[in-house]
Amino acid sequence: MERKFNIYYDDNAKRLRAEVDKILSKFGGISDKDKDDFYSLANEIFARALKRYDDSQPFDAFLYSCLSNGIKTEMTRRNRQKRKADRMAVSIDTPVGDDGDYTIKDVIADSFNMETAVFGEENADTVKIAKYLDRLSKRQRRVAALLAASYKAGEIMDMLNITKKEYADAINGMRSYENISVLF
């Protein structure tokens, strides 16, 4: 490398890092780890720029253009990966199973089982259970009783002649902190 190119690597690539920092400042929210990744990328871009440089313009402008394009391309790639992950996200209210009667929320393992606490625990505090049941609406109490009798969600909706949304609202109300807090 000629001396005019060595200035980018004097003092541990200080000038090259300064150019990268100038470009990254336009993006914001870049962590130190990400900056290290971009400094490494800048080294690769610098090496390619040296091979492609043809003296038709000042090297500083040529290098800045190469760095800017390379960093923007990498930012785009990273953002695409983030968006791709978001598209793969699934709602906890997504129906599952052959008949779609359950949601993911219904099948996630949980150490607290409200139905057992209310209806099946031998040493349950009856005062707490009575308070809990008093807080429930008439529909919520009917849903709770049918759940305790081992009916499936679809069967309960048919028996009570309610929609999936009404069933979900009843379950959410039964599981709300306001209602279950009396059981603790």
pLDDT, tens digit, for every residue of 87-112?
A: 666 677 777 777 777 777 776 766 66
C-alpha to C-alpha distance for 96 and 102, rounded to whole angstroms: 5
pLDDT, tens digit, for every residue of 53-95?
A: 888 888 888 888 888 898 888 888 887 777 665 566 667 777 7
Number of helical (H) and strand (E) elements in the chain, helices listed first: 11, 2
C-alpha to C-alpha distance for 164 and 181, rounded to whole angstroms: 26
DSSP conformation letters of 137-177: -HHHHHHHHHHHTT--HHHHHHHHT--HHHHHHHHHHHH-H
For residue 4, what pLDDT band results from cuts at 50, 70 and 90? low
Is the predicted pLDDT of residue 122 greater than 60, yes or no? no
- Structure pTM? 0.44
